[in-house]
Structure 1
Amino acid sequence: MRKLKYYIACTVDGFIAREDGSFDCFPMSGEHFADLFEFFPETIPAHVQKALGISPENKQFDAVLMGRNTYEVGLNVGLTNPYPSLKQYVFSRTMETSPDENVKLVSDNPVAFVKELKKEAGKDIWLCGGGNLAATLVSEIDEMIVKLNPVVIGAGIPVFGRAIEPTNLELVDRKIYSNGFMLLHYRLHK
């Protein structure tokens, strides 16, 4: 069965973005980017792939789940199809139509939808964000891969958008970089 992996960047104080959804507080360069590009190339947004002149293969994932706010980060700058090599699903109760034929809208019962998606053949499923969707789907998250950035911002959008049941994590892999960035891979125990 496929796994749902919450692959997310956050600050040391647990935020995935500022309160307005921006994430310019995260370092945009550093030695860790080579590993991220090597191990998770399909998570590079289309406009960055184009700028770099690459079309990476899907090594980890073949589907991506996004909440409306996460999807709108790209949509607000004209990016309707942010991950063209992945099946893209946007969870929203307010969007009536998808701005792109390659992006499927899911409006109800996200947990049931993900349970069915996990049964399908294929690579793992990337939960891209945001915090509210992660809190809704926490019962289905198998692993968390946290890109822990050496910065604090004091307020913003948390990794989980609301309180969840305490969940034990098992650290299965980690890498610490000289710039203070950490890549932490956890398995969730439910």
Structure 2
Amino acid sequence: MKVSVYIATSLDGFIARKDGALDWLPGIESPESPEGEDYGYHEFMDSIDVLIMGRNTFETVLSFEGDWPYGAKRMFILSSQPITIPNELTDSVESSSSSPGELIEQLAKRGFQHVYVDGGKTIQSFLRAGLIDELIITRIPILIGSGIPLFGEADADIQLKHLETHTFSNGLVQSRYQII
């Protein structure tokens, strides 16, 4: 099983403001985006068969206007507290209080092949558990000064191998790393 992260950060390494706001993050279809450019997002989403997301991230996505952005893709929400899943999502979304290792083991037994992990605390816990294989990080050319960092404290160094970097005409820089 492959476990990947696909996420955007400010140039100073934050995934959201302290209050969780994403107002600094340009939308895929913003005027600054090259026409038709999705930064590899749809190709990445087509490659995964299950998502693992933290409760805070799930609740943030639920607050977005418009249709559910993940379609019928299977999703597990990690939370140590009970979580309310809207009725229209119960066929594809379920909650889990398992540890990262337990959840990956359960998903492997169910035949899932490629996992997308999203949410700051969730990504950090999977990194600490040594379960992330690949990081795809898109840096947005903005400094927001403070917020929720992508990476927290680590118990040990995490070695990365740079695989590729793409630059976009609007200043976004996307790098892909393998955890070694």
Does the TM-score normalized on the shorter chain lie above 0.5? yes
* 1:4-47 CA distance string (max 9 Å, x none): 101111111111111111111022331286142xx33177xxxx
Q: What is the distance in 2 between the residues matched to 1:174 and 1:17?
A: 23
* CA drift at 1:84: 2.0
Number of the residue aligned with 1:41: 42
- Write the letter of the residue equivalent to 2:41: F
CA RMSD of aligned residues (A): 2.3
* CA drift at 1:146: 0.5
**Residue 16 (1) aligns with residue 6 (2):** no
Q: Give the 3-state SS of the residue equivalent to 1:59 in structure 2.
A: helix
Picking from 153, 159, 163, the partner of 1:168 is: 159
The answer for unaligned runs of 5 or more in structure 2 is none
Aligned residues: 170
Q: What is the distance in 2 between the residues matched to 1:120 and 1:171?
A: 31
> Bigger shift: 118-127 or 22-31?
118-127
Q: What is the distance in 2 between the residues matched to 1:149 and 1:32?
A: 17
Q: What is the distance in 2 between the residues matched to 1:32 and 1:93?
A: 41
- Write the letter of the residue equivalent to 2:52: L
Q: What is the distance in 1 between the residues matched to 2:74 and 2:159?
A: 30
Q: What is the distance in 1 between the residues matched to 2:153 and 2:35?
A: 31
Q: What is the distance in 1 between the residues matched to 2:70 and 2:110?
A: 20
* CA drift at 1:68: 0.5
Number of the residue aligned with 2:122: 133
1:70-89 matched pairs, under 5 angstroms: 70-77=57-64, 81-89=68-76
* CA drift at 1:120: 4.6
**Residue 154 (1) aligns with residue 155 (2):** no
1:105-124 matched pairs, under 5 angstroms: 105-118=95-108, 120-124=110-114
Number of the residue aligned with 1:63: 50
CA contact (8 A) 1:92 1:105 kept: yes
* CA drift at 1:95: 2.3
CA contact (8 A) 1:171 1:184 kept: yes
Q: What is the distance in 2 between the residues matched to 1:186 and 1:155?
A: 25
Q: Give the 3-state SS of the residue equivalent to 1:9 in structure 2.
A: strand
Number of the residue aligned with 1:54: none
Relative to the length of structure 2, the TM-score reads 0.83
* CA drift at 1:179: 2.0
* CA drift at 1:98: 2.8
Q: What is the distance in 1 between the residues matched to 2:9 and 2:22?
A: 9
CA contact (8 A) 1:145 1:184 kept: yes
CA contact (8 A) 1:42 1:86 kept: no
* 1:37-72 CA distance string (max 9 Å, x none): xx33177xxxxxxxxxxxxxx521111111011000
